[in-house]
Amino acid sequence: MGQDPSRAADPDVSGVAVRDGVELAYEVFGRQHSPTVLLLPTWSIIPSRHWKGQVAYLSRRYRVVTFDGRGSGRSSRPAGAEAYTNREYAQDVLAVLEATGTEQAVLVSLSCGAAWSVHVAAEHPERVLGIVAIAPSCGLDVPTPGRDHLRWDERPATTRGWAKYNKHYWLDGGYEDFVRFFFAQMYSEPHSTKQIEDCIGWAHGIDGRILADTHAGREGYDGAVCEPLAPLARQVRCPVLVLHGTDDRVRPPGFGERLAELTGGDLVLLEGSGHGPHARDPVRVNHLLAGFVDRVVPRPAQPRWSRAAGRRPRALYLSSPIGLGHARRDVAVAAALRERHPDLQVDWLAQDPVTRVLSEQGEHVHPASRWLRNESGHIEHECGEHDLHAFQAIRRMDEILVANFMLFADLVADEPYDLVVADEAWEVDHFLHENPELKRFSFAWLTDFVGWLPMPDGGAEEARLTADYNAEMLEQRARYARIRDASVFVGNPADVVPDDFGPGLPSIRTWTAEHFDFAGYVTGFDPAAVTTGADLRAGLGIGDDERLCLVTVGGSGVGTSLLRRVLDAVPVARALAPDLRFLVVAGPRIDPASLPAVPGAHVVGYLPDLYRYLAACDLAVVQGGLTTCMELTALGKRFVYVPLRHHFEQTFHVRHRLEQYGAGRMLTYDEAADRDALARVLLDELARDVAYRPVETDGAARAADVLSAVF
């Protein structure tokens, strides 16, 4: 099956089980593995996609089955409360086990799904290896203060608070309001904007009538039969693990305590967690799930260990795969680090296209890298015509980031590393702060920008979200400053934007100066050592009577539209300047054959020594990515840069830095739409004299000095 770049794992098998005319859409992941973990549906308000933080991690270790419960997702929506009783859902579980050829499974549930796992385990014990119940919520004789006095089936006197949890309110137009209220209660933890946003989006897949039927069936309204859960729970003989947040505002921890008592299971209280800890605290929940499954079906022990005193020093280097800019500078930093520690072994946890640069440089890419979900593919999936809403794209990459962090966590748990260097590996920095107990190594963070910034057309909502993300990072750093043993800004203090992190939050420049070391820029090569004369140009096939315009858009596939726009302007530019030749570099992820053939322009794919062409050209047209722009600045080259629309880093951070150097000419994509105007801009730039501020050449050494001091 083809990969979906928006998901962290793709199913090996997709299918539909049919029971009594009801279709149940299921997916199977990691089909060669054993045992099977069945992730049960929950209340019909959300589909099985709510397990997105678990599937990729678990399916690397086990066979995983998910399915949309009746009334949700891609499954059928039968009418009437009697179609949604606990027994109907339990029978659906068995139907999916049969359809997927699963004899036994560990059942993992959220909220009301716990009742269905209890039904199956009590009545079909031979099919259930164990139960994990996360935030169990239904069928137990436990009080819920603030809710128990409200009658679900009577018209409410008010629609404030939990009074929104009402059949008549849902059916009379209050469904949307209830949804927003409910998920704000479900995710009570600060900075849960993405989890709430996901669930609200999923909840639009059904309506108030379906939700009313599913609640009525589960609770015994409208003619449905609700069987007491306690007698069934007492019959459960398999191992049981109950996870419940102490700040669960949907159902209090007493529900989890009661289920653990009835089943004789283990209880883990998650301090400060709400009703959806699997989504809000996925790393901790994933480790608890794996620990339980490995206890039920033991895995082989770690076969080898070496004494610390006899180990060769090792560093694990993570280089952001979004573009190629980080790779060359990281190779330079790693080389400088080896100069200071000649016996240092450097392993790379990296993805395409970074792995191409590493392979060319003879670096060792760790075999575990094959399990990384490709972030560049997701970014390309998110882009439009020269348009990438970078902040939102990274927010929507959350399940991929969780999966990649879980891989990282497994790796550093199994293999000893003295130093981890993360160049904008956002997931590693974020989840180490969220799970500080996982830090077993010195940790260094590298970045060339600080602070999420809103695009103006995003309005107040985007400003709120970026400020919330910034505030979370500031709080993490204030609470767990020890996580980063070094924070290196690839640049200088003046390169940091002067904006604030958000209303009431500090200045980005002031805060960065207090919390980072500044390495100066790292070009990845020494501009002074690159021959820029006739020998270089001749070696690259550039004639003495030619001027070269180099057009390149970096390592992702986002730049196709800009390449086409420049190619459209080539005939006009060459009519005005016949000696002007164009070399168009499509990069590693754009097929050169997909671009039109234009006289005077030669299209090529990936160039491993692109910096030599930058040094040889007379003019360049690029996106607004920092690396290529700064390489051109260091080489003293004329260039036009066209930031991606809605890309906050290129629009604000990169532009601010280039203005500090007096480098380049910024052109919007709309301004580049007219081929005649674009051609005139290129010729104007060819005639312009440049006098950029010098770019430092010792950035890699300065960064390596900082890293050397922390391990």
Q: CATH number of the domain that 568 lies in?
A: 3.40.50.2000
- Is a pLDDT exceeding 60 seen at residue 65? yes
pLDDT of residue 324: 73
Q: Which uninterrupted H or E stretch holds 134?
A: strand 128-134
Of 20-34, 75-89, 374-388, 443-457, least confident by mean pLDDT is: 374-388
pLDDT of residue 535: 74
With beta carbons less than 8 A apart as the criterion, state whether 118 and 242 touch.
no
Q: Please state, as a whole number, how many other Cβ atoms lie within 10 Å of the Cβ of residue 287.
A: 17
- Is a pLDDT exceeding 80 seen at residue 72? yes
With beta carbons less than 8 A apart as the criterion, state whether 513 and 491 touch.
no
Q: How far apart are CA 512 and CA 514, in angstroms?
A: 5
Mean pLDDT calculated for residue range 456-464: 97
Structure tokens at 462: 């985007």
Do 538 and 562 lie in one domain? The reply is yes
Mean pLDDT calculated for residue range 678-695: 95
Q: What angle do CA 135, 58, 320 make, to 5 degrees?
A: 110
pLDDT of residue 304: 79
- Is 450 within the bounds of a domain? yes
Residue 30: closest CA among 11, 15, 49: 11
Residue 475: closest CA among 518, 514, 430: 430
Q: How far apart are CA 375 and CA 706, in angstroms?
A: 28
> At residue 169, what is the residue type?
Y
Burial 477-492 (b: 16+ CB within 10 A, else e): beeeeebbbbbbbbbe
- Is a pLDDT exceeding 90 seen at residue 525? no
Do 353 and 457 lie in one domain? The reply is yes
pLDDT of residue 2: 56
Do 437 and 533 lie in one domain? The reply is no
- Is 183 within the bounds of a domain? no
Do 654 and 569 lie in one domain? The reply is yes
Residue 449: closest CA among 429, 420, 423, 421: 423
Of 96-110, 572-586, 602-616, least confident by mean pLDDT is: 602-616
| 156: three-class secondary structure by DSSP | coil
Do 140 and 265 lie in one domain? The reply is yes
On the CB side of 442, CA atoms within 13 Å amount to 15
Mean pLDDT calculated for residue range 31-50: 95
pLDDT of residue 326: 83
Q: How far apart are CA 364 and CA 373, in angstroms?
A: 19
Do 276 and 373 lie in one domain? The reply is no
Q: How far apart are CA 480 and CA 704, in angstroms?
A: 24
Residue 489: closest CA among 442, 542, 539, 445: 445
Which residues, listed in sequence order, are joined to residue 14 by a DSSP beta bridge? 27
Cis bond before residue 353 (omega within 30° of 0)? yes
Do 110 and 65 lie in one domain? The reply is yes
> At residue 527, what is the residue type?
P
Number of helical H runs and strand E runs in the chain: 27, 21
With beta carbons less than 8 A apart as the criterion, state whether 425 and 350 touch.
no
Q: How confident is the model at residue 543 (pLDDT cuts 50, 70, 90)?
A: confident
Residue percentage of the chain with pLDDT more than 70: 99
Q: What angle do CA 624, 626, 629 make, to 5 degrees?
A: 75
The model's pLDDT over 605-627, given as tens digits with 9 standing for 90+, comes to: 988 888 889 999 999 999 999 99
Do 430 and 539 lie in one domain? The reply is no
The whole-angstrom distance between residue 348's C-alpha and the CA centroid of its chain comes to 19
Orientation of helix 626-634 relative to helix 325-340, angle to 10°: 70
Q: Starting at the edge strand that comes first in sequence, how are the strands of the sheet with 517-518 ordered? A: 364-365, 345-349, 314-319, 419-423, 442-447, 486-489, 517-518
Overall number of domains in the chain: 3
Of 296, 331, 346, the last residue of a domain is 296
pLDDT of residue 189: 98
Q: How far apart are CA 434 and CA 284, in angstroms?
A: 9
Whole-angstrom CA distances from 162 to 91, 215, 553 are: 31, 15, 52
- Is 1 within the bounds of a domain? no
On the CB side of 150, CA atoms within 13 Å amount to 20
Mean pLDDT calculated for residue range 521-543: 79
What are the residues whose beta carbons fall under 8 Å from the beta carbon of 585, sequence distance 6 or more?
A: 550, 551, 552, 553, 604, 605, 606, 607, 610, 613
580-585 and 345-349 beta bridge pairing: unpaired
Do 638 and 618 lie in one domain? The reply is yes
- Is a pLDDT exceeding 70 seen at residue 544? yes
Mean pLDDT of the chain: 95
Residue 69: closest CA among 240, 218, 224: 218
| 556: three-class secondary structure by DSSP | coil
On the CB side of 206, CA atoms within 13 Å amount to 29
Cis bond before residue 35 (omega within 30° of 0)? yes
Do 259 and 129 lie in one domain? The reply is yes
- Provide the sign of the torsion angle of the four alpha carbons 646, 649, 654, 655, taken in this order: positive
pLDDT of residue 532: 60
On the CB side of 584, CA atoms within 13 Å amount to 27
Q: 299 vs 193, which has greater pLDDT? A: 193
Q: How confident is the model at residue 531 (pLDDT cuts 50, 70, 90)?
A: low
Mean pLDDT calculated for residue range 445-463: 97
Residue 135: closest CA among 264, 246, 284, 293: 246
What are the residues whose beta carbons fall under 8 Å from the beta carbon of 112, sequence distance 6 or more?
A: 42, 43, 136, 137, 138, 139, 218
pLDDT of residue 1: 47
Which residues, listed in sequence order, are joined to residue 621 by a DSSP beta bridge? 551, 640
With beta carbons less than 8 A apart as the criterion, state whether 27 and 14 touch.
yes
- Is 133 within the bounds of a domain? yes
Q: Please state, as a whole number, how many other Cβ atoms lie within 10 Å of the Cβ of residue 705.
A: 16
Structure tokens at 180: 């927003």
Query: What are the backbone angles phi and psi of residue 435, rounded to the nearest 5°?
Result: -135, 65
- Is 662 within the bounds of a domain? yes
Mean pLDDT calculated for residue range 211-238: 95
Do 233 and 127 lie in one domain? The reply is yes
Instruction: Name the DSSP class of 69.
Output: P
Q: How far apart are CA 26 and CA 88, in angstroms?
A: 17
365 — alpha (psi -120 to 50), left (phi > 0) or beta? beta
- Is 204 within the bounds of a domain? no
Mean pLDDT calculated for residue range 577-591: 92
Which residue is it, tokens 């459209």?
568
Do 428 and 464 lie in one domain? The reply is yes
Which residue is it, tokens 């550093």?
412
Residue 214: closest CA among 204, 199, 224: 224
Query: What are the backbone angles phi and psi of residue 27, rounded to the nearest 5°?
Result: -140, 145
- Is 583 within the bounds of a domain? yes
Q: How far apart are CA 47 and CA 55, in angstroms?
A: 14
pLDDT of residue 32: 84
Q: Which uninterrupted H or E stretch holds 639?
A: strand 639-642
Of 120-129, 348-357, 650-659, least confident by mean pLDDT is: 348-357
Mean pLDDT calculated for residue range 82-96: 97
- Is 581 within the bounds of a domain? yes
Whole-angstrom CA distances from 416 to 304, 342, 412, 667 are: 12, 19, 6, 48
- For residue 82, what are the domain limits? 13-146+225-296
* CATH number of the domain bearing residue 109: 3.40.50.1820
